[in-house]
């Protein structure tokens, strides 16, 4: 409870949002907000891509499903038979004349009919449907990959915010120390063991620390805005980061083990492998265009010149289509499909190499950051001891304020080094989690 209260006080004091409700935000909660349906824009767009892929799959499936149409028509027409070469002279017999008129009509025709057609066998359409289904799976894997990328971005932004808070805390500690040393220099001058230049030197350091504090406060504002943008929240909102930037050792892991984990967990690898499989099916579909296809069609309806004189009629047909020559279009499509398959194979190899590179770089960064943290902790401890000794010597009149000022500068640098080392270590953990596809597990710890 004290942790949340401190975060609330810090947020209201630094960001000046006393009138706004403050949202306590842990790393886990931040990622949950970003991955919500109305959260990060990239997540929303990725979710829509699944619907698009499913619609295209439905279109591909329709190619070999029955097609049923209903029609109802009415026609009233006249015809000039002479225009069709049907001009027969009239035959005149005694008391009787026989002939075909040149102009007929008007004639009325009512026709109500159902038409059905189906592709009995078309291997190319089947392959295209299978390829479309793989694209749905690829879209789902891409969506999960997008969520992992957004979680990675949120984790980085959150760590940047924690670093800004740590820098602010260090700046506040430096400012308090400078104020104490200004009072100490003034006291030494009053006691006759100090000089005016020592007071001025302490005041200069105090002014520098005040400027550093202002910069740290501005960095917190920038980190907050960036985090709010990633979460899809209003930029005028107030948040309080409830986590702290701490050091958590990482168990040693070999590149081979990390790569095995990445092959199992990384969504971008899985999505690319699915896309390659889909390209292979598309190539197979293009090659199958050479094969014969079998179709069937039928219609049934009533037709007549009057509605009370309609008679049923029907048509049943079976067709076998054998491709022979289409001007080379099939060969061109096959060559295009083969090139697309080779492209996907190249992309698969490239993303695997990129994943392996990210894993090795993350492991190297982890080892380096752990060494940096150990060195920074030791340096901070020694700098605190040095400053304490320098202050005692200065208060005893054994040395001047220069020794204290130098020790103070080294302490401030040691604090900065510790913050930087902790930040580098936590960012290296984020890098390793993303490289192995375990970023969700990282943020849920």
365 found inside a domain? yes
The domain in which residue 424 lies consists of 2-66+124-289+329-443
Cα–Cα distance between 395 and 11 in angstroms, integer? 38
Give the pLDDT score at 22.
Answer: 86
C-alpha 199: how far from its chain's center? Answer: 56
Let me know: does 213 contact 172? Beta carbons within 8 Å.
Answer: yes
97 found inside a domain? no
CA dihedral 94→95→100→105, nearest 10 degrees, is 170
Average pLDDT score over the chain: 87
DSSP 342-363: HHHHHHHHHHHHHHHHHHHHHH
Q: Is 415 left (phi over 0), alpha (psi -120 to 50) or beta?
A: alpha
Let me know: does 355 contact 414? Beta carbons within 8 Å.
Answer: no
CATH number of the domain where residue 244 is located: 1.20.1600.10
Cα–Cα distance between 183 and 187 in angstroms, integer? 6
57 found inside a domain? yes
Question: Taking the model in full, what pTM does it have?
Answer: 0.78
From the list 251, 275, 278, the residue with the least C-alpha distance to 436 is 251
305 found inside a domain? no
Query: Mind listing the pLDDT tens digit for each residue in 12-59?
Result: 444 444 456 888 989 999 999 999 988 888 899 998 999 999 998 888
77 found inside a domain? no
Query: Mind listing the pLDDT tens digit for each residue in 329-377?
Result: 888 989 999 999 999 999 999 999 999 999 999 999 999 999 999 999 9
pLDDT above 80: residue 11: no
Query: How many structural domains is the chain composed of?
Result: 1
pLDDT band at residue 326, thresholds of 50, 70 and 90? confident
Query: Mind listing the pLDDT tens digit for each residue in 194-216?
Result: 788 888 988 998 999 899 999 99
Region 122-141: what's the mean pLDDT? 89
181 found inside a domain? yes
pLDDT band at residue 420, thresholds of 50, 70 and 90? very high
Region 301-312: what's the mean pLDDT? 86
Cα–Cα distance between 300 and 361 in angstroms, integer? 70
DSSP 127-153: HHHHHHHHHHHHHHHHHHHHHHHHHHH
Tokens of 242: 């409830």
Query: Is the peptide bond preceding residue 106 cis, with omega within 30 degrees of 0?
Result: yes
Give the pLDDT score at 97.
Answer: 67
Region 397-403: what's the mean pLDDT? 83
Give the pLDDT score at 18.
Answer: 46
Q: Is 223 left (phi over 0), alpha (psi -120 to 50) or beta?
A: alpha
Sign of the torsion angle spanned by Cα atoms 395, 396, 402, 405: negative
Cα–Cα distance between 397 and 73 in angstroms, integer? 114
92 found inside a domain? no
100 found inside a domain? no
104 or 416, which is more confident: 416
Tokens of 116: 């059905």
Enumerate the β-bridge partners of residue 69.
Answer: 115
pLDDT above 80: residue 402: yes
pLDDT above 50: residue 7: no
């Amino acid at each position: 409870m004290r942790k949340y209260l401190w975060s609330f006080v810090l947020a209201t004091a630094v960001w000046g949002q006393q009138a706004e409700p403050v949202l306590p935000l842990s790393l886990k909660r931040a990622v949950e907000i970003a991955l919500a349906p109305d959260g990060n824009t990239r997540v929303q767009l990725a979710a829509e891509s699944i619907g698009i892929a499913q619609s295209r799959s439905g279109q591909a499936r329709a190619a070999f499903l029955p097609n049923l149409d209903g029609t109802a028509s009415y026609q009233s027409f006249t015809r000039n038979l002479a225009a069709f070469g049907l001009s027969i002279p009239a035959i005149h017999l005694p008391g009787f004349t026989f002939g075909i008129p040149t102009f007929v009509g008007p004639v009325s025709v009512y026709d109500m009919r159902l038409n059905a057609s189906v592709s009995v066998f078309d291997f190319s359409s089947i392959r295209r449907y299978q390829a479309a289904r793989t694209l749905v799976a690829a879209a789902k894997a891409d969506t999960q990959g997008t969520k992992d990328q957004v979680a990675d971005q949120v984790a980085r932004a959150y760590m940047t915010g924690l670093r800004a808070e740590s820098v602010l805390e260090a700046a506040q500690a430096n400012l308090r120390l400078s104020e104490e040393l200004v009072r100490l220099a003034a006291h030494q001058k009053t006691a006759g063991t100090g000089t005016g230049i020592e007071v001025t030197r302490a005041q200069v350091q105090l002014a520098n620390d005040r400027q550093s504090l202002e910069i740290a406060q501005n960095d917190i504002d920038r980190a907050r805005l960036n985090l709010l943008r990633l979460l899809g929240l209003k930029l005028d909102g107030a948040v309080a980061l409830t986590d702290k930037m701490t050091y958590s050792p990482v168990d040693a892991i070999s590149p081979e083990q990390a790569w095995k984990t990445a092959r199992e967990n990384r969504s971008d690898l899985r999505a690319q492998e699915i896309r390659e499989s889909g390209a292979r099916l598309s190539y197979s579909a293009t090659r199958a265009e050479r094969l014969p296809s079998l179709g069937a069609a039928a219609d049934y309806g009533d037709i007549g010149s009057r509605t009370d004189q309609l008679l049923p009629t029907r048509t049943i047909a079976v067709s076998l289509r054998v491709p022979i020559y289409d001007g080379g279009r099939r060969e061109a499509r096959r060559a295009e499909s083969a090139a697309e398959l080779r492209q996907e194979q190249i992309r698969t190899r490239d993303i695997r190499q990129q994943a392996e590179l990210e894993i090795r770089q993350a492991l190297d960064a982890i080892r380096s950051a752990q060494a940096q943290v150990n060195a920074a902790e030791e340096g901070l401890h020694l700098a605190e001891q040095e400053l304490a000794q320098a202050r005692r010597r200065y208060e005893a009149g054994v040395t001047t304020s220069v020794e204290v000022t130098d020790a103070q500068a080294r302490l401030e640098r040691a604090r900065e080094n510790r913050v930087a080392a902790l930040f580098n270590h936590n960012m290296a953990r984020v890098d390793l989690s993303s490289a192995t596809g375990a970023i969700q597990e990282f943020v849920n710890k």
